[in-house]
Structure 1
């Protein structure tokens, strides 16, 4: 097991000591005061002393924190599809990716509430540079995806990551979450990077790679926020790409995105899990015996599920109508909702810059554009 030490979360035997050492950190105090305003510092520290597993920490502390976050920054989280999953099974959840921390944390809230196996979740090590965030990630059963490596190091790291995911699923019966691509979707187009699937498949010992993917029990996940709390923060990168410029992040940009994602207004949130990919993989094998084409086809199947299960909100229809100068979806929203959306856009971006306006609108409109490829009956 030592081979995974550089990327794995804490073992349960390590949890209590880590919590004791982290209890006095200002960010831990801030989190506890936010989550448990009715408790004194002595009381919540006493509860931490009695915590000896990741599950205990997640259920007794993080779950309460997320409930407070939802209460203060949203109009509620709804779910669908979870009742079709087996509480005894571990799944590989492949999800669209809109928010750095909330996507996977909200999935675990849903799994917990449906008595399903919670996930170990992939997170880029660039997102946990601050020591406390690194500790908190490992306390929440996050494992690290190493970034900024040379090609040779990247190959070794990808193989280790793939093996660890297989170890979790097959030997620990632990579900795993990974985003469909590196980095959050910034333009509203949820597309699976085949490279992610190739990495996952590196640990395969099956003669046919698609047989390995069937064993993984892949479940596509669609998460949709009525308002993206980091929409304006995604704009500089979109603007740079539109101008064919190299985008360089500010030093604290990821951290600020994490905080804004957690506390920024979201209105309604919906999370839907698709069915386990099984017959779909059989169909891929029947259609093609070229491995690269099979992986491309699997990426498309995941995209099909994520896009079709994505919950469209009034904000998506409003952005579509504004962007394409139409009233096609006027029946999907109220005029006051449109005015609120326009006001939000005016407050968050420079509306005199057409590239910024089109980028902001596309972020919300593209889920409608993509869904129209499957059905006209929206």
Structure 2
């Protein structure tokens, strides 16, 4: 057994066997059947599942590598992504060089779509897609683990409770990320913090930066980070399909002091995040850090400034900020009407009002917060203030 076998993505030689296992997995076929035929799956699922399995086996026959699999599914992924958006744009990808591997550190709003949009941008720029860090809490079903590891995902063990086990897991994770970039020449995507930024306040956890260094403690921190070509990535959603659920969770946490997920909640978030309306989406690749700070906390603040200033603000963000009870009057934030054409602003006002109307009154401040925080953060940086 190899050093990284417990967490690494599947290798090319494993692809045919894993595909065969997936196409015999009844839970996986159930999901595909409900997704493809939502009205018929209940009554005729027993008939549809064998037909779908047969078609998938025929379509994926001869797929014997991860690249071939990605090329095969990319058109389907693109259609799914594009159906739920009003357009995807990206910037900074021209700074990435073919043949180089990067450590993409991104803000985190959606479980599946954050890395999917980074993959979309990189793939369409003609570059290899990165390996994706994914928490083991999302891999409770065997077919989900197989799907993710086929798509270059590697596992982050977050559900460990024993301190010694956690330390060993982070040591292994650090070694794998360094090995992927330095030895395999494969880029890595990882979120800037554990868990989504449900309040729209994107911040880098310095503990993650320290983790990158754990397996190379005998080397200077800044040298290790520089060698990994750490590249901040800012992913901007005009609308978050999960914003209502996030507002509810924030309200319950504020009211009771805690929040407990119900079984299947992550699955619902994943499905809604993939298929729900997002408006426009922008992915901004910042320049790889050439002279990272020696201190992890300082480096986290430097990364935050890049991610927050690169975040694309849409009309809805300014509309929410204008309604936010905690907005800072000292910040020179213009109104949405000063920045956007009338037709664009009117469409945003209609969509924003629809979201407000769908949100229970007591939860609305937490809906507003999600869209207002990016404005506050960006204009505080512009004003030279601390975050």
Alignment TM-score, normalising by the size of structure 2: 0.87
Alpha-carbon distance in structure 2 between the residues aligned to 1:112 and 1:30: 28
Alpha-carbon distance in structure 2 between the residues aligned to 1:60 and 1:240: 43
Alpha-carbon distance in structure 2 between the residues aligned to 1:41 and 1:2: 32
Pair 1:216 & 2:228 matched: yes
2:303 matched to which residue of 1? 302
Alpha-carbon distance in structure 1 between the residues aligned to 2:235 and 2:353: 23
Aligned pairs for 1:264-343 within 5 A: 264-279=276-291, 281=292, 284-285=293-294, 294-324=295-325, 328-333=335-340, 334-343=345-354
Residue 218 of structure 1 and its aligned partner are, at CA, apart by: 0.4
Residue 332 of structure 1 and its aligned partner are, at CA, apart by: 3.3
Pair 1:144 & 2:150 matched: no
Task: Give the secondary-structure state (helix, strand or coil) at the position aligned to 1:374.
Answer: helix
Pair 1:13 & 2:13 matched: yes
Pair 1:363 & 2:370 matched: yes
The total of aligned residue pairs comes to 357
- The question of whether the paired residues in 2 share the 8 Å contact of 1:125 and 1:147 is answered with yes
Please, which runs of 5 or more residues in structure 2 have no aligned partner? 38-50
Shift in alpha-carbon separation, 1:235–1:209, aligned structure 2, 3 A: same
Task: Give the secondary-structure state (helix, strand or coil) at the position aligned to 2:3.
Answer: helix
1:173 matched to which residue of 2? 185
- The question of whether the paired residues in 1 share the 8 Å contact of 2:29 and 2:53 is answered with no
Task: Give the secondary-structure state (helix, strand or coil) at the position aligned to 1:372.
Answer: helix
Aligned pairs for 1:44-55 within 5 A: 44-55=56-67
1:345 matched to which residue of 2? 356
Residue 374 of structure 1 and its aligned partner are, at CA, apart by: 2.2
1:104 matched to which residue of 2? 115
Task: Give the secondary-structure state (helix, strand or coil) at the position aligned to 2:164.
Answer: helix
Pair 1:60 & 2:67 matched: no
Alpha-carbon distance in structure 2 between the residues aligned to 1:373 and 1:119: 32
Residue 151 of structure 1 and its aligned partner are, at CA, apart by: 1.1
1:117 matched to which residue of 2? 128
Please, which runs of 5 or more residues in structure 1 have no aligned partner? 286-293
Task: Give the secondary-structure state (helix, strand or coil) at the position aligned to 2:194.
Answer: coil
Shift in alpha-carbon separation, 1:206–1:86, aligned structure 2, 3 A: farther
Task: Give the secondary-structure state (helix, strand or coil) at the position aligned to 1:3.
Answer: coil
Task: Give the secondary-structure state (helix, strand or coil) at the position aligned to 1:144.
Answer: strand
1:190 matched to which residue of 2? 202
Residue 3 of structure 1 and its aligned partner are, at CA, apart by: 2.2
Aligned pairs for 1:31-46 within 5 A: 33=36, 42-46=54-58
Alpha-carbon distance in structure 2 between the residues aligned to 1:31 and 1:125: 25
- The question of whether the paired residues in 2 share the 8 Å contact of 1:318 and 1:330 is answered with no
Alpha-carbon distance in structure 2 between the residues aligned to 1:191 and 1:235: 19
- The question of whether the paired residues in 2 share the 8 Å contact of 1:227 and 1:265 is answered with yes
Q: Give per-residue Cα distances to partners, 1:143-168, cap 9 Å, x unaligned.
A: 11112211111001000010011111
Alpha-carbon distance in structure 1 between the residues aligned to 2:378 and 2:125: 28
Aligned pairs for 1:76-95 within 5 A: 76-95=87-106
